[in-house]
């Protein structure tokens, strides 16, 4: 199940980024819902919210380290299903963004809600999983 989740996240992320690159123009919003939601192609050379710009080697190293830790944690079969699901979503998102960094030297972002920095599906999966993981760690005593 973990492999299916991770692979699905990577494929969805990479396909949507391919479509964004194919059909959107850089920094030119395509309005879907006026004053609320656009598709805006952005090349993010930093981390979340554009922090730490142009630190490619650092981001690649951190990503590889995080992926190794997550893989190690996923090997522990004693962890709850929600814990493993959360880590799987984070792993898929991390790999999706790592692919961009290795391929292009930046991450492709395109989801633009106007009140939030532009992001992508990998970021969404990571964020959702982080919330699920925090909930699991706070409220489930069976997590190791």
Assigned token pair, 31: 């309005």
Alpha helices in 1-144 (DSSP H): 2-23, 56-74, 81-104, 121-139
Choose among 107, 109, 131: nearest CA to 42: 109
Choose among 128, 105, 114, 115: nearest CA to 12: 128
109 in active site: yes
Active-site residue identified among 13, 100, 112, 123? 123
13 in active site: no
Active-site residue identified among 13, 100, 109, 112? 109
Task: Burial-class residue 15 by CB neighbours within 10 Å (0-12, 13-18, 19+).
Answer: exposed
Known catalytic residues are 109, 123
């Amino acid at each position: 199940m973990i492999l299916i989740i991770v692979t699905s996240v990577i494929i969805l992320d990479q396909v949507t980024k391919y479509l964004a690159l194919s059909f959107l123009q850089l920094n030119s919003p395509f309005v879907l819902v006026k004053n609320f939601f656009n598709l805006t192609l952005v090349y993010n050379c930093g981390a979340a919210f554009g922090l730490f710009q142009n630190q490619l080697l650092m981001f690649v190293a951190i990503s590889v380290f995080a992926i190794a830790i997550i893989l190690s944690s996923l090997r522990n079969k004693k962890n709850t299903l929600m814990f493993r699901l959360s880590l799987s979503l984070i792993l898929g998102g991390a790999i999706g963004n790592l692919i961009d960094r290795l391929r292009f030297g930046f991450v492709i972002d395109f989801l633009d809600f106007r009140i939030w920095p532009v992001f992508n599906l990998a970021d969404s999966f990571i964020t959702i999983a982080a919330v699920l993981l925090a909930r699991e760690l706070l409220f489930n005593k069976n997590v190791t």
